[in-house]
């Protein structure tokens, strides 16, 4: 098991067992590490301690978060795309496929893909020369299944594996390296006009906050279209970069997520931790064999 896999497993364990408030020894045992080494590994990859992650995970959510986010879709486009988070340091730009490109179904289009380990689990990423066209967690689908979906969407394209060509996407999301030589991240996606409008609205939700399906619909001038908004969000082809994980039900419930509610809560908590101030009160325990 890789370090990434251990942290992803630990985060899943914390989400599933949050109500039990597991201690450091229990979490470390789940990934077969000593408490000391697990704490150091978790801090390195997650950017915080397991205890702090659990604290943020168990904070009261739901309507309280929605109340704080009631005006988030009224902010300017610039504010929505250039916050202090790691994703927004890179400016995520969404570019829709043109009608001509859609008609050609990928003719003469080169697509490169790769599977990468991340603290949130294995992530499948595919890119065209114009941007990211796919990103999805591999919790429920194999690489072959995801490739089949890509070929169905772009049957005449040339699809090759190249993790070196997709690595910059992972670096942008997880390293916070705003000086990437690749420049701003662009998305190259296909969808109906309504789907594109919904996905653009999602990009305006600041990191660490949430919106309801109804709020998204209202921002589009279609207050009675919450169900249609939900369908468009469910069709999101680019996980994390198009932040469908930031949308919850009006009641405060998590709502649906293509990769399951556990993953959705994990992503939300991880994202909130990226901009949280450091908490120095939680230090790794001393080594069993002394300092």
Domains of the chain in start order, with CATH, are: 3-104 (1.10.10.60), 110-175 (3.30.160), 193-275 (1.10.10.10)
- The pLDDT value recorded for residue 90 is 38
For residue 119, pLDDT over 70 is answered with yes
Q: Which residues are catalytic?
A: 244
For residue 10, pLDDT over 80 is answered with yes
Percent of the chain residues topping a pLDDT of 90: 37
Q: Tell me the mean pLDDT in the region 216-229.
A: 89
Q: Give the distance between the most distant pair of CA atoms in the chain.
A: 67
pTM for this structure?
0.73
For residue 177, pLDDT over 60 is answered with no
Please enumerate, as own/partner, the contacts of 190-194 that have beta carbons within 8 Å and a separation of 24 or more.
190/96, 190/97, 190/101, 190/102, 190/133, 190/153, 190/237, 191/96, 191/97, 191/232, 191/235, 191/237, 192/232, 194/228, 194/232
For residue 135, pLDDT over 90 is answered with yes
- The pLDDT value recorded for residue 58 is 61
For residue 251, pLDDT over 60 is answered with yes
- The pLDDT value recorded for residue 176 is 58
Which uninterrupted H or E stretch holds 283?
A: none
For residue 179, pLDDT over 50 is answered with no
pLDDT tier at 30, thresholds 50, 70, 90: very high
For residue 125, pLDDT over 90 is answered with yes
Q: Tell me the mean pLDDT in the region 121-142.
A: 94
The C-alpha atoms of residue 161 and residue 87 are separated, in whole angstroms, by: 24
Q: Which of 97, 95, 150 is nearest to 125 (CA)?
A: 150
Mind listing the pLDDT tens digit for each residue in 52-92?
A: 888 777 654 444 555 555 444 443 233 333 333 433 433 57
Phi-psi region of 195 (alpha: psi -120 to 50; beta: other; left: phi over 0): alpha
Count of CA atoms in the C-beta half-sphere (13 A) of 79: 8
Residue 126: phi and psi, rounded to 5, are -130, 140
Burial of 194 (0-12, 13-18, 19+ CB in 10 A): middle
pLDDT tier at 43, thresholds 50, 70, 90: confident
Q: Which of 44-58, 91-105, 241-255 has the highest average model confidence (pLDDT)?
A: 241-255
Note whether 94 and 203 are within 8 A (CB). Answer: yes
> What mean pLDDT, rounded, does the chain reach?
79
Least confidently predicted of 93-107, 169-183, 240-254: 169-183
Given the DSSP bridges, would you call strands 211-212 and 247-248 parallel, antiparallel or unpaired? parallel
Q: What angle do CA 278, 182, 266 make, to 5 degrees?
A: 40
Q: Tell me the mean pLDDT in the region 30-59.
A: 84
For residue 279, pLDDT over 70 is answered with no
Note whether 218 and 225 are within 8 A (CB). Answer: no
Q: Which of 210, 208, 198, 202 is nearest to 254 (CA)?
A: 210
Q: Tell me the mean pLDDT in the region 28-38.
A: 93
- The pLDDT value recorded for residue 283 is 39
């Amino acid at each position: 098991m890789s370090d990434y896999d251990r942290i992803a497993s630990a985060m899943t364990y914390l989400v599933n067992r949050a109500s039990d408030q597991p201690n450091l020894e229990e979490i470390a045992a789940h990934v077969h590490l000593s408490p000391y080494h697990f704490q150091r590994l978790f801090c390195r990859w997650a950017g915080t301690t397991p205890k702090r992650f659990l604290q943020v995970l168990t904070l009261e959510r739901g309507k309280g978060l929605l109340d704080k986010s009631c005006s988030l879709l009224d902010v300017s486009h610039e504010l929505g795309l250039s916050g202090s988070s790691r994703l927004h340091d890179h400016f995520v730009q969404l570019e829709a496929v043109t009608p001509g490109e859609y008609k050609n179904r990928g003719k003469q289009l080169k697509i490169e893909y790769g599977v990468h380990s991340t603290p949130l689990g294995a992530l499948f990423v595919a890119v065209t020369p114009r941007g990211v066209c796919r990103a999805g967690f591999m919790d429920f689908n194999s690489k072959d299944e995801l490739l089949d979906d890509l070929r169905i969407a772009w049957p005449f394209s040339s699809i090759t594996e190249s993790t070196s060509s997709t690595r910059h996407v992972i670096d942008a999301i997880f390293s916070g390296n705003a000086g990437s030589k690749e420049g701003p991240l662009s998305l190259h996606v296909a969808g109906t006009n309504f789907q594109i409008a919904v996905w653009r609205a999602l990009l305006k939700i600041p990191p660490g906050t949430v919106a309801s399906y109804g709020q998204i619909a209202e921002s589009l001038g279609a207050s009675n279209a919450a169900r249609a908004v939900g369908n468009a969000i469910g069709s999101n082809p680019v996980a994390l970069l198009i932040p469908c994980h930031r949308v919850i039900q009006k009641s405060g419930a998590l709502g649906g997520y293509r990769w399951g509610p556990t993953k959705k809560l994990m992503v939300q908590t991880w994202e909130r931790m990226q901009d949280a101030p450091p908490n120095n009160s939680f230090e790794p325990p001393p080594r069993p064999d002394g300092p």
